[in-house]
Every structure is written in structure tokens, then in C-alpha cells.
């Protein structure tokens, strides 16, 4: 088992007995506990919930669209934390194609960035009010493929933290890496999570291990 250097809390089914796992990444100023509270909204059975905690409640200090070097070394450390969490879950017997990566706000940005830098088949990738990290003009040319991974991006059209153009740009990049991307923009929603987004996550969770539709 990987020795994790960050605080991680767990709920739901034990990984050894779970059908799938979901890694829940909190936003700036929030907590791992708050993400486990969100996970209670998911009713899919047999899911292990894993939530890492950022140091001092933030994964990196500046905007996700600030020059990347301003957010270093914190961004690199946060990406390493996610890598260690996923590796730890895999070493406990859960394959990547049954692991869903989900983040909200700053956690969504980190989750999407991790997914494109470590592209492979996951159970799902979910970005709630977030986008890929980097200033305008950033390109995301990383190797690997998401190989049909279900990806859901949900965001408001008037989110004060997440420019709509960056959400669209993230969708293009994730599709280019082979993700099966669903992007929904909610008119006037603000920076929050709504039931329709929870329903989309629920669909991804219930689809893991389910027989393919004919």
C-alpha cells in the first residue's frame, strides 16, 4: 500500500468489497468532510468514497488561470497527492476503470488537470464548476488516452470564478484525449452544485460494471 502524505478520509463501502470508488476533491476553503457530505447524495450501491484534504484548505494559492509558476510548487504537490490517492486505491484492488475522479471548484480544476496529465481509462471524470489549469493560451499536449472514459462537465454560464470559454476549451481537450464528454451549462446557476449534476454523476456510478446496452 502506498504511504500517503496527506490526510484522506473515507466512507461508503470498504474498497475491498466495493463495486467502484469515487475520489472526491474539495474546493478552496472547503474540506474533505464536505465532499463526503456531497457523496451522501449518491445512491448507487457499493461505492467507496475517498476524500483527500488539501493543506490549509487550498490546493494552490492563486487563480487556476494565473501563470502556472505562481501556483508552484503547490500545484505539483496537489497533482502528486491525487496520483498517490489513485495509486493507493488501485493497490487495494480497485482498477482505474472503476475509479471515478470528481472535483468541485478548485477541486474540479485539479481533477481535470490530473486527468489530462494522466490520461487512461477511468470509471469517470467529473468537473463541477471547473476547467483545466493555466493562463489563456495554455495548451494541453499530454500523451495517453481516456479511451472512452465518461466525462461530465457542469458549470454556470455566469460563474464568477470559471470563465465559460475555459469550460468549452476543457471539453475540446478532453474529447481530443478520447473522453466521452457531456458538457452542460446551466443558465444563471452561480457557483454551486445542482441536482441535475448529481443525477449525471449517479448515472456514471451506476454504469460502472453494468452490462453494455444493446
Structural domains of the chain, with CATH: 8-207 (3.40.50.1820)
**What is the pLDDT, as a whole number, of residue 214?**
44
DSSP annotation of 125 reads E
**What is the pLDDT, as a whole number, of residue 190?**
87
CA dist., res. 92 & res. 129, Å (int)? 30
4, pLDDT greater than 80:
no
pLDDT digits (tens, 9 = 90+) for 113-159: 999 999 999 999 999 999 999 999 999 999 999 999 999 999 999 99
**What is the pLDDT, as a whole number, of residue 212?**
55
Q: What is the pTM for the complete model shown?
A: 0.94
Total count of residues recorded for the chain: 214
**What is the pLDDT, as a whole number, of residue 1?**
46
Q: What distances in angstroms separate CA 52 from CA 148, 156, 172, 204, 212, one per listed residue?
A: 26, 25, 28, 21, 32
Report, as an integer, the average pLDDT of 166-174: 98
Nearest-CA neighbor of 130 among 146, 99, 100, 151? 151
pLDDT digits (tens, 9 = 90+) for 64-73: 999 999 999 9
How far is CA 100 from its chain centroid? Answer: 7
Neighbouring residues of 179: CB distance < 8 A, sequence distance ≥ 6: 115, 125, 146, 148, 149, 150, 151
Q: How is 143-183 classified by DSSP, letter by letter?
A: -B--TT-EEEEEEETT-SSS-HHHHHHHHHHHHHTT-EEEE
Neighbouring residues of 139: CB distance < 8 A, sequence distance ≥ 6: none
Amino acid at each position: 500500500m502506498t504511504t500517503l502524505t496527506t490526510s484522506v478520509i473515507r466512507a461508503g463501502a470498504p474498497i475491498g468489497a466495493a463495486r467502484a470508488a469515487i475520489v472526491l476533491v474539495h474546493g478552496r476553503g472547503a474540506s474533505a468532510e464536505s465532499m463526503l457530505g456531497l457523496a451522501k447524495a449518491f445512491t448507487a450501491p457499493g461505492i467507496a468514497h475517498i476524500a483527500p484534504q488539501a493543506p490549509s484548505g487550498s490546493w494552490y494559492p492563486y487563480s487556476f488561470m494565473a501563470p502556472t509558476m505562481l501556483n508552484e510548487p503547490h500545484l505539483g504537490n496537489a497533482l502528486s497527492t491525487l496520483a498517490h490517492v489513485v495509486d493507493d486505491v488501485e493497490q487495494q484492488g480497485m482498477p482505474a476503470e472503476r475509479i471515478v475522479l470528481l472535483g468541485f471548484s478548485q477541486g474540479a480544476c485539479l481533477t481535470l488537470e490530473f486527468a489530462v496529465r494522466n490520461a487512461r481509462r477511468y470509471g469517470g471524470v467529473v468537473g463541477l464548476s471547473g476547467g483545466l489549469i493555466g493562463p489563456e493560451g495554455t495548451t494541453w499536449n499530454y500523451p495517453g488516452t481516456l479511451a472512452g472514459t465518461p466525462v461530465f462537465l457542469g458549470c454556470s454560464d455566469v460563474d464568477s470564478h470559471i470563465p465559460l470559454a475555459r469550460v468549452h476549451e476543457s471539453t475540446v481537450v478532453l474529447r481530443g484525449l478520447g473522453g466521452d464528454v457531456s458538457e452542460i451549462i446551466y443558465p444563471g446557476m452561480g457557483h454551486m452544485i445542482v441536482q441535475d449534476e448529481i443525477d449525471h454523476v449517479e448515472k456514471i456510478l451506476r454504469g460502472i460494471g453494468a452490462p453494455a446496452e444493446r
